[in-house]
Amino acid sequence: MKTLLILGATGQVGQELLQFALQHPDISRVVAPTRRPLPAHAKLDNPLVDFEQLPEDAAWWKVDLTVCALGTTLRQTKSKAGFYRVDHDYVLAAATLAQRAGTPTFGLVSSLDANASSRLFYLKVKGETEQALGALGFVSLVIARPSLLIGGTRGNARPLEAFGLFLGQHLASLLPRRYQAITTRQVAHSLLEACLSAPAGLHIIESDQLQG
């Protein structure tokens, strides 16, 4: 029986992760720090936090595995600096505290084609986050790189994303498997199971592998 920390439990993939974790027979306790309260559950510990000032000495940082689905959009943050703050700085701050507390395994929802050398800002940030996590010293680091996500709700839909999803769903047979849209449920399930059984080292799961 393992304990799990979920970062970003109110997001699209994070909500799916939370539901899988609460129902999983191998998970005895789920810690999900959020800014607003989650529905109560017997297995859930839901500390309310401000990601700008995370509690460094909280006992709940020490778990068997941490899975991170934190993320935002440029439209929400209205600046590249704001996006970087959430998708890089928040992730690294929380991961550092988990690693220092003795958490051996960390899983991340990243992005297809994440690359710290990319000329595209979004993919560059995702790649830099992956690199920084790799330097923290987790026993096991599992990175999921999904393509366009289907599922969940988003209060401020993005036209380009919606167009991409339309193409991804209706022209799927014409696209290579790694570029086909994938459900948030598939990503959450594959990443959680991979983290629960991850051996030592770095493990990258590309989008086609997440589809099973």
Residues with active-site annotation: 122, 126
Rg of the chain over Cα atoms, rounded to whole angstroms, equals 16
Q: Output the CA torsion sign for 102, 30, 210, 212.
A: positive
HSE of 153 in the Cβ direction (CA atoms, 13 Å)? Answer: 2
Q: What is the dihedral of CA 111, 113, 116, 118, to 10 degrees?
A: -130
